[in-house]
Structure 1
Amino acid sequence: MTFIDYSNEEKSSATKEEKDTTSSKLPEDASKWGYDMYPDRKGASSKSEKPSRSVTDYLTGRGRDHLDKIRCERNVYKCVKESPLVKLMMGALKSSGCGIDIRRHIACEECASNVSGGYDPIMNQVIVCHNTVKSEGMVQGVLTHELIHMFDYCQNDLDFKNLEHLACTEIRAANLGHCSFMSAWINGDASIFNIKEMHQNCVKSKALSSVMAARSGISKMEAINAIEKVFPKCYPDLEPIGRRLRRNSYDMYKAYEEGYYYGYDIP
């Protein structure tokens, strides 16, 4: 999932280095662009709006946010050190001139219950939702998905105000990081009669849900039309992972090894 980008005028004069220091001022209608699902993105003032917790809250477990955050940060660190996919994405970003400092570019935050992560191009930061993403495997999935958005923003100069741009990066993230035969089957996008098209259907379904979550001001048909328009161009684009990953396979390890051939500065 992605957030709103700053204006094209600001972006046209920004270098890759300047993107990281661009003003973090939020759009006027923050809810339209998904910021309402990420309360910590609203700035320090939102913290005062959060209800205070009593001793009872802490005793019953409702005050464990700080522990969830610590666990999330540990999982992020482990993925950065050990996950072939995360290391591949970080190497590809570094080779594109957009290296990552995990203390600056990855944040564990509390989010709405219906999201697991996001990419904020204004802050140039990946968000992992510590209240909904509990396991190392889930953290790896969120990081891979959101780092694809970061890569597209760095490499392809995306404008997230453009619905077709948003649809394209969501197609790529779903294509490279989510859909396999099993996930397509579970989501109802596959059967014995459409094996050939099951992956494309899964990608479209995942991209649609992500676009609708990120852009509350549009209709479902508008999102579908944008996805269908850019799908023929964006679906075949497998950079930088280079392959569609099958569940319970060695594909992510193969992709990691192949990254060296593409000149990625992989840690």
Structure 2
Amino acid sequence: MSSTSNAPSTSSTAPDAQDKDLKAFDRWRKSVSWITGVGLTPDDHARRKASQDVEAEEAMWVRCEKWKADLMKNSPAVSFMLKHLQQAGCNLTTDHIHCQPCNMTRAGGFSPEKGILLCQDGFWSKSHMEDTLVHEMVHMYDHVKFKVDWKDLRHHACSEIRAANLSGDCKWSREIRRGFYTFSKQHQDCVRRRAILSVQQHPDCAGDSVRAEKAVNEVWESCKADTRPFDEIY
């Protein structure tokens, strides 16, 4: 009487093992292609780029929120502005400061209705964000303390002068990075230039640099001399 073995034969397992190896290799190959972009179809390239863009935006948002929280807690200039905003009747919290993607022409913004915008993809360092945050906080301070009429070009120009003057936005290292190497009246020239550029974006200017410069010149002396709430230029 012949006996029947229950052990699987070698011939029946080899194809299964080979199939598993091929599937593992295929997964590895696809993974490498996704990382490197080599061997992908046009549709795969589009999906890969979209995925990378989403991941990059998420990473920049996380970085922006982390830096924002640190600056709100540890920056002397930000803490100073928080205190004076509160004294002026504005209790600014992290909920009023929004990290969002922007176009690359700016680093931040202020809206009386929406609060402060930090352009998460526009910062090359935490100190850059600090200067931008203080800049926008000066706008908020002006809005609360001096009841700025943002439709008025002269009002807008005055706040832009003060924000550029007091925020650190025009310190020498920042100007060098922008490609300006002036040693005589560097700070003054920067404040004037950046105020004009900002006022140009006012709806009533529509990019008219002559009108923007006229508005800045009309309020220049009084607004540049006004360093409130700082005792001197930051």
Q: Which residue of 1 aligns with 2:117?
A: 127
Change (3 A) 1:62 1:214: farther
User: Does structure 1 residue 209 correspond to structure 2 residue 197?
Assistant: yes
- In 2, the alpha carbon distance for the partners of 1:60 and 1:164 equals 44
Q: Deviations over 1:31-83 (max 9, x none)?
A: xxxxxxxxxxxxxxxxxxxxxx9641255455421221111011000000000
Counterpart pick for 2:212 among 223, 228, 239:
223
Larger proportion of helix: 2
Q: Which residue of 2 aligns with 1:20?
A: none
User: Does structure 1 residue 91 correspond to structure 2 residue 86?
Assistant: no
Q: Which has the higher contact order (CA 8 A, sep 6+)?
A: 1
Contact 2:197 2:209 in 1 (8 A): no
Contact 1:189 1:202 in 2 (8 A): no
Q: Which residue of 2 aligns with 1:250?
A: none
Q: Equivalences for 1:134-153 in 2 at 5 Å?
A: 134-153=124-143
Specify the structure having the higher radius of gyration (Cα): 2
Q: Which residue of 1 aligns with 2:39?
A: none
Counterpart pick for 1:179 among 166, 170, 183:
170
Alpha-carbon distance, 1:135 to partner: 2.5
Over the matched positions of the two proteins, sequence identity in percent amounts to 28
Count the aligned residue pairs.
Answer: 187
Change (3 A) 1:95 1:182: same
Unaligned runs of 5+ in 2: 1-44
Counterpart pick for 2:93 among 92, 96, 101:
101
Q: Which residue of 1 aligns with 2:15?
A: none
Unaligned runs of 5+ in 1: 1-52, 246-267
User: Does structure 1 residue 198 correspond to structure 2 residue 189?
Assistant: no
The two structures, once aligned, show a CA RMSD in angstroms of 2.2
Following TM superposition, the consecutive aligned residue runs of length 4 or more in structure 1 with deviations greater than 3 angstroms are 58-63, 180-189, 213-216
Q: Deviations over 1:155-182 (max 9, x none)?
A: 0000111111110000001111122345
SS class of match (2:225): coil
Q: Equivalences for 1:63-102 in 2 at 5 Å?
A: 63-102=55-94
